[in-house]
Each structure stands twice: as C-alpha cells, then as structure tokens.
Chains A and B, each alone.
Chain A
Amino acid sequence: MTRADDTLPAHPPEGSGAPRTVMTAPDIARALRRIAHEVVEHNKGAEDLLVLGIPTRGVELGRRLGALLGDLEGVEVPVGELDITMFRDDLRHQPTRAPMHTRIPSGGVDDKVVVLVDDVLYSGRTIRAALDALSDLGRPRAVRLAVLVDRGHRELPIRADHVGKNLPTSHAERVMVRLDGVDAVPEDSVSIAYGETRAGSPSTPDGGTR
C-alpha cells in the first residue's frame, strides 16, 4: 500500500531530553486527508466502510477520519470505538486499569470494511489484540489499518495499510502524540524525545507516549 511521504532521521544525541516536534497540526490534518483519499480510492467509494478508533487517541483520529471520509463521498460513514484492554497479551506485566468503551454503530461489523485507526504503530501487539476483539464482535469483510505514525520495531507480522508518517526511531526514544480534544493542548502535534519505553507498553491516558 501507499507508504507515507518523507521520513525523518530521528536520532538525537545521547542525553538530549527536549522533545522535538516532527508533525505540526497542519501536517497531521494533511496526513489524515491523504489517508481518507487512500481509503476511498482503495475501497472504490465509502460503501460498507466502518471506522473503529482504538482508545485513547485512535478514537479522536477515527472520528476525524470518519468525518473526512463522509465529506469526500457525501455520505455518513459510521464511526465507533474498539477497546482492547481485555485482549492484551501483557496484562500480567502491569497494574490493571479499567477498560475503556467499546462502541459499535448499530449496523454491527458483519460484512463491513473495518478501518482500524490508532495513533502510533510500534510493536504491533495492540493491533493483534484489536483483531481478536473484532473477531468476537462479528466477521468483517475486510480489516484495514490506518495509523498516524509508524515508528517501526514490529514484534508481530502486522503492517499498516495507511500511514500518516513513517518515523524511524530507536527503542530509546519516545513518540508523543498530542491531540486537541484529548489532551490539554492548544493544537495537535507529534513529537519525539529521548527516554526509554518498553515496546508494547500501552499509551498512558495522560501522556500518549509510546
């Protein structure tokens, strides 16, 4: 599938902790518009599309993508939320947290073309869990994956169909997605900072760090 536009070398010198912005609000808006075009091009329209955002930030991105798809095709594209907490494979390695909402529009998922939306694609484990969660809800005709940032380091054979930006990173870096409407920020941004995170660790509700 169409991979993202340019890539940025993102290896700040050891010890530099200040976050560096790699996507601004207009960049994010443009990336989502391009993804919307790619989705309708591949699907030959908006028929049977169902956008499911993965909490926390995937929900907001899914909502925006659904609105863009609706504008492009002049139809209402159903948008829902798919929580994956109970399907994670690392539950035993961290404190429990309350699951978030799963909300499936009334049409259900059967025979739909589901577009899963998440902010950062990293180990691939979140998407593995999302595919399991989805199969308990029904049988979509196809499942596609759209992410704002693909930072590499996959641990499972999973890839995204639509990527806002490819961002080569090291494990020692953190990618932070901040979205207006989710985080207390004036405008959207994606930034990168030096500092260890474990692959596959969940995005924290307050930080959105991966």
Chain B
Amino acid sequence: MRHLLSSADLTRDDVRMLLATAAEMHEVQRRDVKKLPTLRGRTVINLFFEDSTRTRSSFEIAGKWMSADTINITGKGSSTSKGESLRDTVMTIDAMAVDCVVMRHMASGAAHQVAQWVDASVVNAGDGTHEHPTQALLDAYTMEQRIGSLEGRRVAIVGDLTHSRVFRSNAITLRTLGAEVACVAPPTLMPSGIRPWAEADGLTLTDDLDEVLASGPDAVMMLRVQRERMSGGFFPTPREYTVGFGLTRERLRALTDANPDAVICHPGPMNRGLEISADAADAAQSLVLDQVSAGVAVRMAVLYHLLAGEEVAA
C-alpha cells in the first residue's frame, strides 16, 4: 500500500488487516506510555485546506504516538493565502523529503492529483464531496467493536448523501466487509448519479426513514447537514428536515423497539436538534465518542501500513 486515496482501493483483506492493527493500537492508547518507536525518523505533514478538529488532531496524535515527526499546515496560514497554487505548495513540501502527506481539500479528487505529483505517500483525509476513507475505517472499527462482525449486518446511512464524502467511503467499506447498506435521504439530497452505483454494488435507496428504522437495522449512521456546502433549496426549513430525516426521540424509541441492540453513529460535528436529537446523541446506543477514540487507533494503523514497511520502488 503506497497511498490511501479511496476506500475502493482497499480489498477486504486490506480492511481486515487495518482493523486488526487498529485493535492492537487501541490497546496502546490505554497504556501509561503511549509511544511506539515504529515510525522513528519519518515525517508526516498534515496539509489541511479545510477546517477540521478531530481528523487533523487524530492524525497528529497517531503520528506522534508512533514517533513520527508531524507538522501541521493549514490553508489559512500558508502561502496558499498569498496565491500559491496547490501544485507549488505540495511540490515545496515534497522537496523537503517528507514521507507522508495527509491531505484535506475542498476539491474532489485533490488527493488523487497530488499523489501523482509527489514522491511521498498520500492519505486522503477528505476531498470535497468525494471520499474520506479513514473515517469509513474508524466507523467500521467502532461498529465492530460493539456489535461484532459486519458481515451480513444491516446499516442505514441517513442524511445529506449528496454532499457527504463520509457516506461514499462508508458505503464502499461497508460493502467490502459484506454489510447490507440502506441509503436514506430526501430526494433532493440523494446523489443524482447514484442509481447505477447502487445497482452494481447492492445499495438500497429510500426516502422513508421510519420504514427503515422499523425494520430494525443493526446500525444507523446519521450524517451532518453540511450547511457550508449548500447553496439553498435542498429542503424548505431545518424544522422540516428534522421532521422527515432527524433521529428524534420518537424515532430513537422506534429503533430500539425494533432492535434493542442497534447502535447509532455520527461522524461529527453534530448539529444537535437538526439531524440528531440530544436524546439520540447521548443514548447508550450512541457510539459518537467511541468513534473519536477509535480515530487515533485507526489512523495509527493506516500510517503504520503506509510507512513502516519495505520501501516501494518509485
């Protein structure tokens, strides 16, 4: 493995190996000395052109706990704000002989493009509305920790699917692991070209959340309503969105009635009261904080498999 650009690049064996590694790394997190010498002498640059709390900090902690040198560069404080092009920025970083660039960018495909320019390994930490593969890995990891193997389990992904890179990566990884995936969104937020993909990959499409919850899925993943990506017109009012697609107190009850062991995920940051009610976010079934805690372990696993092994001939 040289880059991690898309969840589709990972075979089932790759995902299984990353999740198994993450489980061991999670154990390191509970120790007094949270430091492994594994990536000593390696340099990881976090290059973030979009805001992020948990992804950037967890990549930084993951690198540091494995003794890599990690450096953060954000779009705002860098030469990008002086008009430097993306290519010049990443070529400058690459010229410093770094080993890995963890990248978030508002343009879909940015990480793929950068991977063709640089010698370093590139990790896609979110590119526009395209993909966010490490989020999908940590969601799968968190769910498996609580409910066991995802093979044959039913997962509903609910919300703004059009603008969600978390949805795309999750749907791919969940299918790779053999889970059944139901995609729930209002028609305006269902990606326009999704039908051929859904047919080829066996995704179920629906706009009826209540019906999906009544069928007792094993996991429900609520997605954030991304106001920063919406130019308006996708739904009339926030209130109307909540009525149709929010995980309200009533829907939480319907879910737990149908399947008492069901779990709830949200990639964060949450809009409490919009897509998820406080009752659901803080319920015993909620994995939101487990997801954050797993984020570091999963990113340690990714950095380990990208950077620790035999150097790949360029």
**Which residues of chain B are near A98, meaning CB under 8 Å?**
17, 20-21, 24
* Contact digits for B1-27, partner A, Cβ 8 Å, 1 yes 0 no: 000000000000000010011001101
Interface contact A86-B38, CB-CB below 8 Å: yes
For chain A, residues 107 to 165, give those with C-beta under 8 angstroms from any C-beta of chain B: 132, 136-138
For chain A, residues 75 to 118, give those with C-beta under 8 angstroms from any C-beta of chain B: 83, 86-87, 91-96, 98-102
B33 within 8 Å of A (CB atoms)? yes
B308 within 8 Å of A (CB atoms)? yes
**Which residues of chain A are near B20, meaning CB under 8 Å?**
98
Interface contact B17-A136, CB-CB below 8 Å: no
Interface size class of A (residues with CB under 8 A): 10 to 19
Interface contact A102-B24, CB-CB below 8 Å: yes
Q: Is the interface of B mostly helix, strand, loop or mixed?
A: loop
Interface contact A132-B37, CB-CB below 8 Å: yes
Interface contact B35-A136, CB-CB below 8 Å: yes
Measured in the bound complex, the distance between the Cα atoms of B33 and A35 in whole Å is 32
Most buried by B among A83, A99, A102: A99
**Which residues of chain A are near B17, meaning CB under 8 Å?**
98
Interface contact A94-B309, CB-CB below 8 Å: yes
* Nearest A residue to B16, CB-CB: A98
For the complex formed, measure the closest distance between the CB of A81 and the CB atoms of chain B, giving whole angstroms.
11
Partner of B36, one of A87, A92, A101, A138: A87
How many A-B Cβ pairs are below 8 Å? 46
**Which residues of chain A are near B54, meaning CB under 8 Å?**
none
Interface contact B309-A92, CB-CB below 8 Å: yes
Given contacts A91-B38, A136-B33, A136-B35, contact A96 B27 (CB under 8 A): no
For the complex formed, measure the closest distance between the CB of A53 and the CB atoms of chain B, giving whole angstroms.
16
**Which residues of chain B are near A136, meaning CB under 8 Å?**
31, 33, 35-36
Measured in the bound complex, the distance between the Cα atoms of B20 and A91 in whole Å is 18
Interface contact B35-A91, CB-CB below 8 Å: no
Partner of A86, one of B31, B32, B66, B310: B66
Partner of B308, one of A83, A92, A138: A92
Interface contact B309-A95, CB-CB below 8 Å: yes
**Which residues of chain A are near B38, meaning CB under 8 Å?**
86-87, 91
B251 within 8 Å of A (CB atoms)? no
Measured in the bound complex, the distance between the Cα atoms of B145 and A141 in whole Å is 35
Given contacts A91-B38, A102-B24, contact A96 B33 (CB under 8 A): no
* Contact digits for B62-82, partner A, Cβ 8 Å, 1 yes 0 no: 000010000000000000000
Measured in the bound complex, the distance between the Cα atoms of B38 and A99 in whole Å is 11
Measured in the bound complex, the distance between the Cα atoms of B204 and A29 in whole Å is 58
B304 within 8 Å of A (CB atoms)? yes
**Which residues of chain B are near A86, meaning CB under 8 Å?**
36-38, 66, 304, 308
* Nearest A residue to B42, CB-CB: A92
B311 within 8 Å of A (CB atoms)? yes
B112 within 8 Å of A (CB atoms)? no
**Which residues of chain B are near A91, meaning CB under 8 Å?**
38, 308-309
B253 within 8 Å of A (CB atoms)? no
Measured in the bound complex, the distance between the Cα atoms of B20 and A101 in whole Å is 10
A-B contacts, 5 listed (Cβ < 8 Å): A92-B308, A93-B310, A96-B309, A100-B24, A102-B24
Q: Which residues of A contact B (CB under 8 A)?
A: 83, 86-87, 91-96, 98-102, 132, 136-138
Q: Which residues of B contact A (CB under 8 A)?
A: 17, 20-21, 24-25, 27, 31-33, 35-38, 66, 304-305, 308-311
Q: Which 9 A-B pairs have the closest CB atoms?
A: A96-B309, A86-B38, A86-B36, A136-B33, A99-B24, A91-B308, A98-B20, A98-B21, A98-B17
